[in-house]
Each structure stands twice: as C-alpha cells, then as structure tokens.
Amino acid sequence: MSVRNIAGTQSCLFFRDRMQQCMEMQKGKAMDAKLKFNEPWIEQRADPYVYRHTDGWYYFTASVPAYDGICLRRAKSLDKLPDAPEVEIWHKHEQGEMSIHIWAPELHYLDGKWYIYYAGGDKDDVWEIRPYVLECQGQDPLKDPWKELGKMKRAPEDEFSFEAFSLDGTVFENKGEYFYVWAEKVGVGKQISNLYIAKMEHPHQLKTVQVLLTTPDYDWERYGFWVNEGPAVIKHGNKLFLTYSASETGEHYCMGMLTADMDADLLDPLSWKKERYPVLQTDASRNIYGPGHNSFTTDEEGNDLMVYHLRTESKIEGNPLYNPNRHACLMKVRWDSQGRPVFSYEE
C-alpha cells in the first residue's frame, strides 16, 4: 500500500471516529434535554433507588407516601421511568412485624436472583423498625411472586445487630465480596443513629460482626436528631465513596461522605476517611430543601448519576416524616482532578 493510500485510510478513520464522537455527544445532549436535573423527576417518592440491570432496563423503587407496600417500575430509559406503570409487588402485613412504616426498599440482583432490602415496623410498636429481605421466585421482578425471607440475619457471633431501630440496608460488591451497610440506633432517650458495615455470607445473612463506620460527630449531623442513615456506594478509579444522609427529615437534612481504597480492609474503621463538611445540603435560592437518601446509577452512555430526594418548600405542613412532598431527583456526578465526586446543582 502506498504512503498516499495509508494517509487516506488514516484520514477516513479519523473522520469516522470524529463523526461517531459527535453522534454520541448529540445523543447525550438529546438525553439531557429529556431529563430533569435537580428538580422533581418522580414526585412524592422518597428514598429513591434506581438499578440498571445487565440487559439495559432501569428499575425504580422508593418509599411510597402511605408507607404500606413496595412498588416497582421499569423502563428502557431514565426519561421513561416517570410515566412507567407502577406495580405493587408486596403489601404490608395487617398486624405484627412488617405491618407499618415500610421504608426505603432497594432492588439488587445477586447470585442470579432478585432481592429487595427494606425496613418495616410493627403496629403494636411503630418504632420497632427492622431490616427485612424479599426474594423473587423468578427472573421477572414485576410479574413473578416474591417470598419473604424475614429479618436480615446477623452473624452467629454477633449479639448486637438489628436489636434496635435498624433500617436503610444497602449492598455493594468489592473484589468479589459483598458488604452490607445499614443504620442502627443506640443509646437512650432520642437515641443516636450510626452506620455499620459487615461482610455477607449470602444475600440474607451476614458473615461478620458489625463494625461502626460513622456516628454523628458534627453539628450538621445533629439537627433535631443525631442521624447518619441512607448509605450508598459509588466506585471510581481505585476508590470507594460511601455517601450518607444526616440530621432530621427537614431542611437540615443533608449528605456526608466516607472514602476508602478498594484494596483496604473495609472492616477496619481506619480505612475510611470522613468528610468534615456536608457534600450536599439545602440551597434556598434554588428551592431545594433537605436533599438526601440517595442511590447511584448511570445514564445510557455510562455517565454517573445520583438519584436523591428533595423538598421544594422550606416550611413543612405537619410532621415532616408523614408529609408526602419528598420528590425523587437526578443529579449529574462530576469527578474532580483527584478522582473525587463533585455533587453540584450546577449543570
């Protein structure tokens, strides 16, 4: 082949690659035009969780205002999720455990099966909140039946986990091992909500005893109630970033973050570095109040997104916990020069 032909071929390849990049950029811009960022995306759905399955389908679940069941919806794209049909796949019990306060469901696909992790209380003791697990008996989580596996099981030598108010369990994988992170209250009086971590033996039992990850140390974690809850994990480079929510459910609700190396011992509290200040908080100038309880997903092009809830009013009618106006929203996750996530309302 002549030098001229080689040059011509390289030129064609260059323009083909440039054309493909431009098409991808236009596709991304078109997707952005369809999506709303940092404003209500799916209304009156708190503690939102989005899972993108290996086949490309997006699944959405969240706490419903009545706190009486678990609903799923799915769509091929994020912009279709708000109008996708919602299916209640499980309803609360009439009495006893799991009969009230059905909160913060998360959908995970582990070991070839679908699981939902959620919290529930008892009508006879409404604050006896504990973490529970559902297992789908087929491969279609919207159509196939679900089986109750009961309360999340702690490790045999663990005497403490899930003995008190416990909720917001999430699962993440690192180097072939699964970890469970959850919030649990300790102490007397109003009690303090901490975050704990343990390795998993299988999808509904822990392998190791609990390890304390974080407790409300700072003033921004202590408004109304001393709270760390709603953990979520995102990976980037060789780092794990664990976000969580802090303070009472109102305008002071905000997000903190922990960071660890993927190669570190994740059950060693010293492996995690806690941020001194919140990474996301209320911005009254944008009518964004109490942002938090997030999860992470990606758009169709693989760009990282955060899913979180917010309120659009500063004054809440009645008890904030039972006010339905927490709305699911999307945020683009940026990465700084050090490979750390940037959570910003700026698009």
CATH code where residue 331 lies: 2.115.10.20
> What is the model's pLDDT at position 12?
52
> What is the model's pLDDT at position 23?
46
- Is residue 162 a part of any domain in this protein? yes
Host domain of residue 83: 38-343
- Is residue 267 a part of any domain in this protein? yes
- Domain count of the fold of the chain: 1
Residue with the two structure tokens 């159509």: 143
> What is the model's pLDDT at position 27?
47
Q: Please check whether residue 278 is in contact with residue 246, taking contact to mean a CB–CB distance below 8 angstroms.
A: yes
Strand partners, 59: 51, 74
- Is residue 287 a part of any domain in this protein? yes
> What is the model's pLDDT at position 317?
86
> What is the model's pLDDT at position 177?
98
Catalogue the active-site residues. 47, 229
d(CA 195, CA 245): 10
- Is residue 262 a part of any domain in this protein? yes
- Is residue 106 a part of any domain in this protein? yes
- Is residue 282 a part of any domain in this protein? yes
- Is residue 29 a part of any domain in this protein? no
> What is the model's pLDDT at position 10?
56
d(CA 32, CA 36): 8
Residues of the chain with pLDDT under 50: 3, 6, 22-25, 27-28
- Is residue 20 a part of any domain in this protein? no
* Distance spanning both ends of the chain, measured CA to CA: 49
Q: Please check whether residue 327 is in contact with residue 309, taking contact to mean a CB–CB distance below 8 angstroms.
A: yes
Give the CA dihedral 226, 232, 236, 238, nearest 10 degrees: 70
Residue 214 has φ and ψ, to the nearest 5°, of -155, 145
Q: Burial, 65: exposed, middle or buried (Cβ in 10 Å; 0-12, 13-18, 19+)?
A: middle
Report the candidate in 121, 35, 86, 93 with the shortest Cα–Cα distance to residue 332.
35
> What is the model's pLDDT at position 34?
85
